[in-house]
A and B are shown apart, each in its own frame.
Chain A
Amino acid sequence: MTNLLTTAGAAPDLSSRWASKLPLQRFALGLAAAVLATAALAAIFPQLLVDQGPYDIDPTNAFSPPSPQAWFGTDQNGRDVFSRVVYGARASLFIGIVAISIALFLGAVLGITAALGGRWLDLTIRRFIDVLYAFPGMVLALVVISVLGVSELTMAIAVGAASAAGYAHIIRAQALIVTRSDYVAAARALGHSPARVLIRTILPNIVRILLPLATLGVGQTIVWATGLSFLGLGAKPPAAEWGAMLSDSRNYVSLAWWLTVFPGAAIAVTALSLTVIGKSLQARVEGGRVG
């Protein structure tokens, strides 16, 4: 043993899943979890994080840049941007979560029915999904909003409906994998009733993949929803909502960068954290499937 050499390359799959995580990955996961915990706290108990209200106007103090008194500066009416970002978490997360719930519910109904409902139902639903796919999501969302009117809830419905097609596709594929698996065959061979096989074996294994999908999806729907708010189709100024704040600030971009940067950063950091957590959940679920 004279010379010592090390080589790098694909990580060996010798150690357990968690132990094999690199320190950087673990750090990113921890950071993402901390960001989301903060966002959740802001959404539920904003008053714990700030003492100033999001709508407290102080015209004498308008457009003041970030300072120890106002961390994120103030806007054209002298409202504290930090307080507005904190209070805005509720509306943005609400829209994101409601939207993804609607998307996954519709996706699950369509996907599972297509997979389990026999050939003709499958064919019909798949054509329907294809048509939904062919529509640009934004256009679809605009249609829903123009029919139902402008509000945070209708926006959530619009975003949810517009992204349902993609989830229906994924869920249908998973449902097919599960129904054709040996473990479902084994459950049937044991003489379990079809209802029991469906409820105890097939559905839980389809639902398993929903949690990571939901986590990844919330980040996307928040970005979408803020996009709609930016267009004035969701939350309206002066509402403290991240997208609406962005929209509100666009006239002052050259004057007060902090009005745009901080709500934008809140959106980006939240979406990114959700993606990090979602990816990790997905790896766990898939690890469970593949072994």
Chain B
Amino acid sequence: MSANLATNVDSRSFVDSEPLMRVAHLSVSFRRDSRWVKVIDNISFDLQPGRILALVGESGAGKSVLARTMLGLAGEGAEIAAERFEIEGVSVAGDTPRQWRRRRGRQIGMILQDALTSLDPLRSIGAEIGETLDAHRLYAGHDRRRRVLDAMAEAGIPEPEHRARQYSGQLSGGLRQRALIANAIVANPRILIADEPTTALDSSTQRQILDLLKSLTKRGAAILLITHDIGVVEEIADDVAVMKEGRIVERGDAREVLGAPSHPYTRSLLAALPEGKPKGVRLLAAKPAVAAFAAPASAAPRSPQVSGDAIVAHHLTKRYQGRDGRTLVAVDNVSFRVGHGQTLGLVGGSGAGKTTVAQILMGFLNPDEGRIEMLGARWSNLAEKERRSRRRLIQMVYQDPLGSFDPRLKVEHILHDALDASGLKDRSVIRRRSLELLDFVGLQGSRLTAHPRELSGGQRQRVAIARALAPQPSILLCDEPVASLDATTQAQVLDLLADIQSQLGLSIVFISHDLGVIQHVADTIVVLKDGRVIEQGSAQSVYAAPAHPYTRELFAAAPRWRARA
């Protein structure tokens, strides 16, 4: 019986172009502090078989609430009103949680963003995917196993037999995402909801996942793709709806909307993209928020060495002893220099050695071979005592700002701690400098008493930048500082970093997997692969004519978005 089911499902055609999901005038409200807040405001859309509808907007626009509502998971206390809410022609308005459970996985599949936390680390991938079938009492025994392996193959997982026995921790990011997709499609749902499915992936893996999603629509699936990445939308979406504050402000054919946006908000979203905009061009029209930032008289001279390079890395090599006794070369003979006031973009896929280079630059790791000179003096392989007094000269901005703050501290304590490290002891001076720093990064002084948890992603990154600037460094190491921010916030932070650089003459090492961002910020680019430098040169020359095949592949894989100016 179950075998028949499989063939029936596979042969489902989508010549009937009845929408798989119809939503008309949907609103969702939550009670917050005894007031009703409308998070979704009067939204209508249809999901057509074989088509991808992309939902774009900044964080807080209500995209995720919409996705959860479509899965019947809006949450306790949510008030949902809709004129029409149909799945495969059946009204689901007022359905019980039990009815929704039968629908999830079977009629609607969900692909989540973070594959690492969405998969159970204690169960094999095969067991995890099989459970979805059990939940719907689909297939049994041998058929069940067959179906799990088929779903894994459909999701593009090589050697499914072997992978099914592995655990999520043993898989790469790309394979984990594929495992999630296999899990979403295993019970043959016709509607798929993908919530930022490629955000955490590097560009070539991202490309493969997008191709996979596209191929699913060829077999009649309707996909709702939630993303903040316009490049992704342009790449695979058929239709697009732009969301802002719970409303859809613009919708239509993806190419038309992106080519000729009519709503001012859509235009500002597109303008915020860094791709195709060389260094020095502001992403947002707003004037520099950075006011004159006077260094206190007591401060040490910012750049003791005016001539020469800020950082010179000579033939860095770092090896690790693997568990199985094999030696792993994480960084292999890497050399580069960063000029004063210049930005070096460090590009590469995951596992390319970017993080190890960052650790060596920060003086947390010593290279096995090679050396680093910082501001004209030796920096690597120093005794910690000698290094410590110069540590303030190179500061780091992390990908996850929240994780880089001591969880016990409020903003003021974070800044106090950083200023204290640079030798300021007078409380009133520290307070004044803290306020100046906040002002400098575009935050209000009242934020001093906030806990970073209470701030938005962009505000947190501003605090992190303020902390990095507190000891008056000469060099800033930015490790994917905008990777988890949406387009507008990303543009604000990039503009802020550019302003800071021109104000303070900082040298920046900017690590990113996002080629658009690198193109915008970098003067020179170093491309890493498997721990080796495969290409380096000025940003313009590398972009204009990438010499190495891997660089070309990287560029080709990146969702392409050229500003239409």
Which A residues are closer than 8 A to B by beta carbons? 1-12, 14-15, 19, 181-183, 185-194, 200-201, 204-205, 208, 288-289, 291
Contact = CB atoms under 8 A, between A and B. Distances in A.
Contact of B402 (A19, A192, A200, A291): A291
B377 to A, nearest CB: 15
Nearest to B92: A5
A173 to B, nearest CB: 15
A10 B73 contact: yes
A182 B97 contact: no
Given A5-B93, A190-B422, A201-B406, 14 more contacts: A2-B83, A5-B80, A10-B75, A12-B77, A181-B403, A182-B403, A183-B407, A185-B404, A186-B405, A189-B395, A191-B421, A191-B471, A205-B406, A291-B402
A5 B84 CA distance: 11
B244 interface: no
A5 B25 contact: no
Nearest to B392: A191
B467 interface: yes
A189 B73 CA distance: 43
Contacts of A189: 362-364, 391, 394-396
Contacts of A291: 402, 453
B95 interface: yes
Nearest to A204: B408
Contacts of B78: 6-7, 12
B360 interface: no
Contact of B81 (A3, A15, A188): A3
A7 B73 contact: yes
Interface stretch (B10-18, B27-35, B140-148): B27-35
B417 A1 contact: no
A68 to B, nearest CB: 45
Contacts of A183: 403-407
Given A6-B78, A190-B391, A185 B362 contact: yes
A7 B95 contact: yes
A23 to B, nearest CB: 12
A150 B85 CA distance: 71
Contacts of B83: 1-3
B301 interface: no
5 contacts: A4-B80, A5-B82, A188-B364, A190-B470, A191-B390
B95 to A, nearest CB: 7
Contacts of A10: 73, 75-76
B94 interface: yes
A8 B76 contact: yes
B407 A205 contact: yes
Contact of B400 (A2, A12, A182, A193): A182
A14 B33 contact: no
B384 interface: yes
Contacts of B94: 3, 5
B27 A1 contact: yes
A186 B421 contact: no
A186 B408 contact: no
Contacts of B467: 186
B25 A1 contact: yes
B435 interface: no
Contacts of A6: 78-80
Contact of B33 (A2, A4, A19): A19
Contacts of B391: 188-191
A113 B65 CA distance: 45
B195 to A, nearest CB: 14
Contacts of B25: 1
B392 to A, nearest CB: 5
B407 A8 contact: no
Contact of B65 (A12, A15, A201): A12
Of A9, A186, A193, which is in contact with the most chain B CB atoms at under 10 Å from its CB? A186
Contacts of A204: 408
A177 to B, nearest CB: 11
> How many B residues touch the partner, as a band?
35 or more
B440 interface: no
A252 B113 CA distance: 62
Contacts of B403: 181-183
B61 interface: no
B6 interface: no
B417 A185 contact: no
A208 B30 CA distance: 33
A106 to B, nearest CB: 25
Q: Which 5 A-B pairs have the closest CB atoms?
A: A12-B75, A190-B421, A191-B391, A182-B404, A5-B94
Nearest to B30: A14
B30 A4 contact: no
Interface in B12-57: 25, 27, 30, 32-33, 39
B388 interface: yes
Nearest to A208: B408
A12 B81 contact: no
B73 A186 contact: no
A15 B471 contact: no
B364 A15 contact: no
B72 interface: yes
Of B32, B80, B391, B403, which is in contact with the most chain A CB atoms at under 10 Å from its CB? B403
B129 to A, nearest CB: 22
B402 to A, nearest CB: 5
B30 A12 contact: yes
Interface in B438-495: 453, 467, 470-471
A284 to B, nearest CB: 11
B389 interface: yes
A182 B470 CA distance: 17
A82 B97 CA distance: 48
B74 interface: yes
A8 B398 contact: no
A201 B407 CA distance: 10
A168 to B, nearest CB: 23
B418 interface: yes
B388 A186 contact: no
B74 A9 contact: yes
Contacts of A188: 364, 391
A3 B418 contact: no
B404 A186 contact: yes
B167 interface: no
A227 B274 CA distance: 67
Given A1-B27, A14-B32, A193-B388, A9 B72 contact: yes
B555 interface: no
A14 to B, nearest CB: 5
Contacts of B395: 189-190
A201 to B, nearest CB: 6
B153 to A, nearest CB: 31
Given A7-B95, A19-B33, A183-B404, A190 B100 contact: no
A8 B362 contact: no
Interface string B351-377: 000000000001110000000000000
A14 B38 CA distance: 12
Given A191-B389, A208-B408, A291-B402, A9 B73 contact: yes
A114 B184 CA distance: 42
B82 A3 contact: yes
A181 B402 CA distance: 11
B408 A4 contact: no
B97 A9 contact: yes
B30 A15 contact: yes
Contact of A7 (B32, B39, B80, B394): B80
